[in-house]
Amino acid sequence: ISHTWFLSIIQNEFRTGKIDLDSTMKLLETLQVPFDFAHVKHVFKKTVDKRKTNTINIEDFRAIYRAIVHRVEFQELFRAYSPNNKILADTELVEFLRKEQYETEGCETMALEIILKHEPIEEVKKRRQMSFEGFIRYMNSEDCLIFKSDHRTVYQDMNHPLCDYFISSSHNTYLVSNQLIGPSDLWGYTSALLKGCRCLEIDCWDGSNNEPVVYHGHTLTSKILFHSVIQVIDKYAFVASDYPVVLSLENHCSPKQQEVMAEYLESILGDKLLTSTIGDTDVTQLPSPEALKFKILVKNKKVGTIEEGMLRRNLDSHGETGEITDLENISDEDESDERAPLFPRNDSSKRKSEQKPPAPPRKKAKMKKTKIALALSDLVIYTKSEKFVSFEHSLANQKCYENNSIGETQARKFVKHSANEFVSHTSRFITRIYPKGTRTTSSNYNPQEFWNVGCQMVALNFQTPGVQMELQNGKFLDNGGCGYVLKPEFLRKHNSTFTPQNVGRYSKPMSLSIRLISGHQLPPSNLSKTNKADPLVHIEIYGVPEDQTKKKSSVIKSNALSPRWDETFSFTVQVPELALIRFCVEDEISLVANDFLGQYTLPLLSLSKG
Residue 358's pLDDT band (cuts 50, 70, 90): low
Q: Of 457, 462, 452, give the one whose Cα is nearest residue 484.
A: 457
Sign of the alpha-carbon dihedral angle for 346, 348, 354, 359: negative
Could you confirm whether 318 is annotated as catalytic? no
Give the mean pLDDT of 110-131. Answer: 97
pLDDT of residue 1: 78
Give the mean pLDDT of 536-554. Answer: 98
CB count within 10 Å of CB 351 equals: 9
**Cα separation of 272 and 581, whole Å?**
37
DSSP characters over 181-202: TPPB-HHHHHHHHHTT--EEEE
Domain spanning 162-325+366-491: CATH 3.20.20.190: yes
Helix-strand-coil split of the chain, %, nearest 5: 35, 20, 45
pLDDT of residue 181: 66
| Spacing of C-alpha 290 from chain mean position | 21
**CB proximity list for 177: less than 8 A, separation 6 or greater:** 183, 442, 463
CA distances from 192 to 162, 232, 462 (A): 20, 11, 7
For 505-606, CATH gives 2.60.40.150
C-beta of residue 303 within 8 angstroms of C-beta of residue 255:
no
**Cα separation of 242 and 50, whole Å?**
57
For 1-144, CATH gives 1.10.238.10
Q: 39, 118, 160, 216: which one is catalytic?
A: 216
Give the mean pLDDT of 474-499. Answer: 97
Residue 320's pLDDT band (cuts 50, 70, 90): confident
CB count within 10 Å of CB 218 equals: 13
β-sheet bridge partners, residue 499:
502
Q: 118, 151, 160, 171: which one is catalytic?
A: 171
Pairing of strands 296-299, 245-251: parallel
Chain mean pLDDT for the chain: 90
pLDDT of residue 339: 42
For residue range 258-279, list pLDDT tens digits in order.
Answer: 999 999 999 999 999 999 999 8
Give the mean pLDDT of 74-84. Answer: 96
Give the mean pLDDT of 72-78. Answer: 97
pLDDT of residue 185: 86
For residue range 407-457, list pLDDT tens digits in order.
Answer: 999 999 999 999 999 999 999 999 999 999 889 888 999 999 999 999 999
pLDDT of residue 528: 67
**CB proximity list for 384: less than 8 A, separation 6 or greater:** 299, 300, 301, 302, 399, 401, 402, 403
Amino acid at 356: K
For residue range 11-69, list pLDDT tens digits in order.
Answer: 999 998 999 999 999 999 999 888 899 899 989 998 898 888 899 999 999 999 999 99
**Greater model confidence, 537 or 183:** 537
CB count within 10 Å of CB 26 equals: 12
Residue 175's pLDDT band (cuts 50, 70, 90): confident
Amino acid at 84: N
Could you confirm whether 118 is annotated as catalytic? no
**Greater model confidence, 565 or 441:** 565
pLDDT of residue 77: 97
The percent of residues above 90 in pLDDT, for the chain, comes to 77
CB count within 10 Å of CB 483 equals: 25
Supply φ then ψ for residue 99, to 5 degrees.
-80, -45
For residue range 369-408, list pLDDT tens digits in order.
Answer: 889 999 999 999 999 999 999 999 999 999 999 999 999 9
The percent of residues above 70 in pLDDT, for the chain, comes to 92
Domain ranges of the chain: 1-144, 162-325+366-491, 505-606
CA distances from 153 to 23, 241, 476, 523 (A): 38, 11, 12, 29
For residue range 181-194, list pLDDT tens digits in order.
Answer: 677 789 999 999 99
